[in-house]
Chain A
């Protein structure tokens, strides 16, 4: 079928024009000023926006950690359930994902409002009202709520492949539940954990929707800054492109670090 490779040419042209060239333009804008002259100004502007970037990284990391904490046990429970139960839980997990991301986030707006349902219920038992909307906590909650399945799914799909006999072998060799988890399940699930972390961290760090809907514009993330620089009242594509580039590079670095970590675990004769 060697001669069929021409069939890929429309795709190659498409990728070139709509993926490679745009990324090239991001780089070009990042390193030029309004007149088109080469400059490092834009990249150095990162100093101005450092707080937003730092906030994004911290909140993304916290949300990722929470997803891991909440998702790991569920992935484990799912992977050890009967086939039917696995299918049902899988479907229940995916069903909310079919609802638009904005509507899912909107649902939390209505719950967390000062006169929202949660405060309303708490008020009846004499508590509150608590200020929840437009806080960092609300943004993190939104991240966890939206991206939790991205953590569960990869971990589950690795764990599901751990054969029952490995659990029995561990028990047979004297390992109790805790030891089995620590010495067998966790190391074997590591690739899934790493994929999950990437899949939650990337959209969390780069979001602007969640921070605008649940943060009320008061808790800006790097995504909000980029968004304003492109579609706001005073656009500046050059700085926006520079920040996007920085974001992209940061994400690539963290993915590479994660991958390294994963490979190391896999090939090393690890001594625990």
Chain B
């Protein structure tokens, strides 16, 4: 049976509050909603997710690391997550640090601000990746060797960039439109590079857990470890990449569904009958099965697997344009105003403005702290107006 590479992504954005046009040029409090129970209150949301997901899942992982020397996992942790953990629940950082020191938890590199700056401003992108790497080094004493771009957004250009900086591998979506008949369970060489590895998410098996575990209409429901393990065993290739959001466990899929017991048992089963790999091990040990090219950007979102969830409509394009128009000035001034600019570059903000499925009330709406994509846009623009005012005064 192929090895298993389990990779989980920890991230929380700094949600801007319902910032009124009448606050512009008066107060610049974007991130701290006064009402604790407000929908945009970052502290409340972080503490809630910490209780439901970060604590129980990290405990589960740490316990298994102690029990089984064969168990390994890869994590990515956004800078905005780290800032909020430091502010509201520093014990999470301490626990992560303890886990990373076992040498069996690998940290994947990414932009500090969870941004899509790669597609707007390469210099800013590079700075954000460097800031993330520095932060990880400062807190945990390691530097990421493998990169993921935000939302797993990948194109050949991303590969070339990562290879030039010195990364050994990049994570990407194993989308059918790219793979054709090729399997996501092999490592590939990124087209245009001299040996950068592409690690591709097995979306069917990842989504069996992340999307379908609690879905009563799914044909595998209820998903047992035996059933799932049998599926893993049937797969061909060298390694199965199970890439998921960390919040899947406990936040998106509630504890009451038995998701934690499932993961606990699954880890045991794989330790006993299979083999875990981290992303770097995968890049090092698995023999490439050829090269793969992605001329167009592929992401892990929606059925389109492209950037349309972030830049699909004119609101998103306008918000992005207006924000990046201010970048040169923000960068040259630095300090708080630059930090605020960068927090606004987080991809979640434009995701909330997506109108793709708004009328059907789909996943975009579910994750948004705003009443509608239009509200998200309106308040974003108010914040940007204030930012612009600060830059000119």
Q: Do A and B bind each other?
A: no
Which residues does B use to contact A, with CB under 8 Å?
none
